[in-house]
Every structure is written in C-alpha cells, then in structure tokens.
Amino acid sequence: MRDKDLEESFELISMLADGGIHSGTELAVALGVSRAAVWKRIGKLGALGVDVIKVRSLGYKLPRPIEFLDVAILQKHLSTLMPDLAVSVEVAKQVDSTNLALLRRTRSTDDLVVTCLLAEQQTSGRGRRGKAWYSPLGENVYLSILWQTELSVAKLNGLSLALGVVIATMLSDVFGINAQLKWPNDVLVKDKKVAGILVEVDGVIEGPLRVVVGLGLNVSTERETTEPNGHDWTSVQAHSERSASRTHVALNVMSSLLTALSEFERNGFRTFRQRWMALDAYAGMPVQVTFHEHSVAGMALGVDEDGALMIDVDGVVQTISSGEVSLRVRA
Ligand code: BTN
C-alpha cells in the first residue's frame, strides 16, 4: 500500500478504533472529505485485513475495538523503569518484518543505539525455521530489539532460551498466566503457543556483534494451527483476568527483554538454566526430535549449561544444540 493510502487508512481506523458506530457524515466532517471519499477509504481497509461492518442507516463500525500502541507512553515508562539505559522506541504502522527492518539498519549505519522497533502490522513476519509469523493489524505485539554485544556468536546459543524464560516469567508475574517453555523458546499456555522468539545476527566480521532479537506475543489473536504437528495458538487476553492493553503488554515485554539482555551479557545462559528447567513443558516426557531429516525418540531431560536440548535415547544422553529441530510428544 502507498504511504499516503496507509496514512489515510490509519487515520480512518483510529476514528473507528473505539468499536462504536460512526456515521458517514461524522467521519466525513472529521476527515474533511466527502461521504463518497469516506466510502472509498473504507473499501481500502480490506487490504489491511480490517473488516468494517456497515450498520444500516447508522454508519460503520469495526467488529471489535482496536488499541494502537502509544509510543509516548512506551518511551516515557521505559525511561522510568530503566533510567540507566539509552533506548530508542519506535512504532511503525506497517512493516514487512521488524527483524528485517532492523537488520537493514545495521547495514546502513555504523552509529547504532539500542532500538526497540514495534509494528502495528507485519506483512512478512518471520518465524523460526523459515516459517511465516501471522501478524494481523492491532492485535498483538511484534517487537524487535537491536542490540550490540561483545559476546561471540558461539556464546549466543542460549540467548533465545534465556529470553523465553523472561517472557514466560513476565506472563506469570504481571498477568497471572501459567506459561511454560518448549525447547528452544516457544512460550506455551496449556499446550498452545502464545509467543515465539527469533534471534538473528548480522554477519559483520569485526567489532561488536549486532544482534536483532524478535518477539511475537499474541495479545488477542487465537487460532487453530494450519500445519501438521503444529501448535494451536492462544493469547494473553484468553488467559488473564487482568487488563491486557497492548501498550501495557509491550512495555512489560520490552523491559523484561532488555533486562535479560544485560544479564545475559554478564553471565551467559548459566543463570537462566534452572529457571528454564522449571518452566520446561516436556520435562521427563517421551519425545520425538526431528532434525536434518532424521528423527530420534527418547526421554526429554531439559537443557545443558549452554542451552542444548538433552534427551535420553536408550540410556545414552544425546545433546542437540542447533539445526532445524522439531520437538513433539510421542503418541
Ligand atoms: C517463532 O517462530 O516462534 C519465532 C517468531 C518470531 C516473530 C517475531 S514478530 C517480531 C519479529 N519480526 C519478525 O519478523 N519476527 C519476529
């Protein structure tokens, strides 16, 4: 969608965002355009995946309210929570992928600050193992953090697990949700996936490593899986009695991840390991692990001090540290 159309569409959505009925005349006056132009703009919202309900002789409404992220609140509260850390917070209306956007930035400038980039919608959200990440407008948190570290690539192995630990812990502490982890970093609630993490490293050879940490957390999206052996999806709102405004969720996610990044820089995965084990959804269960086109079956034993998965296969402990691994409970 062209920038001008995107701006106009978001202007219209923010007027409908409260979920109430708004007449064509009211919208036309507020936008300073004709009613025909309002009708035309409403037609374009379908391209953003936003349905508008026409209420006969009364006007238009959204099927449910949409809360846009409030960048001023995010920046202000983050500076209060983390006064010693200089962080830039940005919210994009629409982006292909927040991870890709920050990776592009690492290549176009040398002058990097820690940056949190959130988006209202991703058109090509990226998941692990080359999968797409479903990213509808205004429903969830799509966040990437650009971070520089002196750690080596090898030391980063446990990073995504450590980040899974703090997201699961935050869901419990802030939203009263009993979340668990599936190796390496799927965050599950009652066996349905609520969040995923994708850590990508820019391929620079010299100097500090530039790492992009991507987190997708479902705030209101719930759906059944479309993949064989995939997880169904759930959301924060489905499991929490407490207010789950997207801005509030995003703020807690950002501060948890930023705190974890500095702890990881100091200690590596070591101080996260016990917490990961305590949250392990598959501990002691018979599992099947598929990687590099072959499969092993054994008993899940948690993770080692580097975050590698340990399984007992006929009395021999095997560790799996990387590769395209899919893990599931044996029937
Ligand atoms: C997974 O497959 O479990 C990882 C999903 C990571 C999704 C997030 S959403 C924000 C960031 N931008 C992306 O394109 N992907 C990550």
Encode pLDDT of 172-220 as tens digits. Answer: 999 999 999 999 889 999 999 999 999 999 876 677 899 999 999 999 8
Residue 136 belongs to some domain of the structure: yes
- Please give the residue that has the higher pLDDT: either 330 or 271: 271
Position 331 scores a pLDDT of 64
Q: Clarify whether residues 131 and 24 are in a common domain.
A: no
127 C-beta closer than 6 A to ligand 1:
yes
DSSP string, 14-76: HHHTT-S-B-HHHHHHHHTS-HHHHHHHHHHGGGGT---EEETTTEEE-SS------HHHHHH
With beta carbons less than 8 A apart as the criterion, state whether 133 and 175 touch. no
**328 in catalytic set:** yes
Using CA positions, which residue lies closest to atom 3 of ligand 1?
Answer: 196
Catalytic residue, candidates 93, 193, 210, 273: 193
* Residue whose tokens read 């450590």: 162
98 C-beta closer than 6 A to ligand 1:
yes
Position 85 scores a pLDDT of 86
193 C-beta closer than 6 A to ligand 1:
no
pTM for this one?
A: 0.93
214 alpha carbon to ligand 1 midpoint, in Å? 5
Q: What CATH code is carried by the domain that includes residue 42?
A: 1.10.10.10
Task: Fill in the DSSP letter of residue 219.
Answer: S
| Residue 224 confidence (pLDDT) above 60 | yes
> Relative to the CA of 119, which ligand 1 atom is closest?
10
Using CA positions, which residue lies closest to atom 11 of ligand 1?
Answer: 214
Q: Clarify whether residues 165 and 254 are in a common domain.
A: yes
H/E run at residue 288: strand 286-291
In this prediction, residue 325 has a pLDDT band, given cuts at 50, 70 and 90, of low
Last residue of a domain, one of 39, 61, 83: 61
- The three-class DSSP label of residue 258 is helix
Q: Clarify whether residues 56 and 124 are in a common domain.
A: no
Taking residues 115-119, report their average pLDDT. Answer: 97
Taking residues 275-297, report their average pLDDT. Answer: 89
Q: Clarify whether residues 176 and 252 are in a common domain.
A: yes
Q: Clarify whether residues 32 and 53 are in a common domain.
A: yes
Q: Clarify whether residues 196 and 97 are in a common domain.
A: yes
198 C-beta closer than 6 A to ligand 1:
yes
Taking residues 114-134, report their average pLDDT. Answer: 95
- What tens digit of pLDDT does each residue of 251-261 get? 999 999 999 99
Percentage helix, strand, coil, to 5, in the chain? Answer: 35, 30, 35
Last residue of a domain, one of 233, 256, 277: 277
How far is residue 314 from each of residues 162, 299, 300, measured CA to CA in Å?
Answer: 29, 9, 12
Percent of the chain at pLDDT above 70?
96
With beta carbons less than 8 A apart as the criterion, state whether 124 and 143 touch. no
Position 157 scores a pLDDT of 87
| Residue 326 confidence (pLDDT) above 80 | no
Question: 73-77, 99-103, 226-230, 293-297: which has the minimum mean pLDDT?
Answer: 226-230
Tokens for 306?
């580097």
Taking residues 15-27, report their average pLDDT. Answer: 95
With beta carbons less than 8 A apart as the criterion, state whether 77 and 251 touch. yes
Position 229 scores a pLDDT of 66
Domain encompassing residue 303: 282-329
Residue 273 belongs to some domain of the structure: yes
In this prediction, residue 3 has a pLDDT band, given cuts at 50, 70 and 90, of confident
* Residue whose tokens read 């993490």: 197
Q: Clarify whether residues 287 and 269 are in a common domain.
A: no
**128 in catalytic set:** yes
144 C-beta closer than 6 A to ligand 1:
yes
Residue 66 belongs to some domain of the structure: no
Q: Clarify whether residues 169 and 97 are in a common domain.
A: yes
Taking residues 290-316, report their average pLDDT. Answer: 90
